[in-house]
Amino acid sequence: MRRSARRVTPLAAVILSLVGVTHDAAAQAAARSGFWLEGGWGAGTVRSACSACPSVTVAYGTSTHLRVGGALSARALLGLELFALHSSELELADGAPPVDAENGSLGPVVIWYVGPSGLFLKGGVGLARGNFTVRSTSGEPVTTDRTGSTITFGVGFDLGLTRRFALTANLGMNVAAIGHVDVDGTPAYDIVATVYEAAVGITLR
């Protein structure tokens, strides 16, 4: 009886160790639950078009985003997203001087996990804001602010680091309509800005 107990004890220890490792791995791969917070940094491209512009203009810049929210279910999350892309030398219209642009958005997003792997899809709508600064003919910088609406789509992946933290990769697109902008006397009507973002961030889950 004692020999059997001696044999069982190491076997039980091995089983418990395997269960603990499996539990830790599952915890690291699991989706976000309860309250979560995500911050990310990356690079992006903005393509701007307007009703009287014969071509689309392109500029590049740096992006940041902040998301916070909670879990609706094991696979679905609801959150609030704040996004911004800063770019230089953006030409809004033919004949207009280039501007320093800040394209941003704020609105609710829904995140849905595709299976247990950490892969997720994102979608949302919200308010868009465009901030454009140009040096006028007098040499002084002139800033124009415009607000509008935006729609966002994206795909991402959570890679668990610990039970509470994950490394998150994002690819996203924001389409914003911000209306009319006057750039140092040159008008640009019905501007639609399409922003593409690639970012990496840290998620508290």
For the segment 129-186, what is each residue's pLDDT rounded down to a tens digit? 999 988 766 677 888 888 999 999 999 999 999 989 999 999 999 999 998 887 777 7
Side chain identity at residue 64, one-letter code? T
Instruction: Output 26 or 152, whichever has higher pLDDT.
Output: 152
pLDDT of residue 21: 39
Average pLDDT, the chain: 84
pLDDT of 26 strictly over 50: no
Please identify which residue in the block is written with the tokens 């309509």.
177
pLDDT of 90 strictly over 60: yes
Percent with pLDDT over 70 in the chain: 83
pLDDT of 128 strictly over 90: yes
DSSP the chain: -HHHHHHHHHHHHHHHHHHHHHHHHHHHHSPP-SSEEEEEEEEEEEEEE-TT-SS-EEEEEEEEEEEEEEESSSSEEEEEEEEEEEEEEE--STTSPPEEEEEEEEEEEEEEE-TTSSEEEEEEEEEEEEEEEEE-TTSSEEEEEEEEEEEEEEEEEEEESSSSEEEEEEEEEEEEEEEEEEETTEEEEEEEEEEEEEEEEEEE-
What are 36's two structure tokens? 């979560």
pLDDT category of residue 10 using cuts at 50, 70 and 90: low
**Of 2-6, 27-31, 177-181, which gets the smallest average pLDDT?**
2-6
pLDDT of 80 strictly over 50: yes
Residue 126 to residues 169, 176, 178, Cα–Cα distance (Å): 22, 9, 12
pLDDT category of residue 111 using cuts at 50, 70 and 90: very high
**Of 25-29, 31-35, 79-83, 90-94, which gets the smallest average pLDDT?**
25-29
Domains of the chain: 31-204 (2.40.160.20)
pLDDT category of residue 123 using cuts at 50, 70 and 90: very high
pLDDT of 201 strictly over 70: yes
DSSP 94-116: TTSPPEEEEEEEEEEEEEEE-TT
**Residue 194's beta-bridge partner residues?**
47, 175
**Residue 193's beta-bridge partner residues?**
48, 176
- Rounded Cα–Cα distance for residues 84 and 82 (Å): 7
Of 71-80, 94-103, 185-194, highest mean pLDDT: 71-80
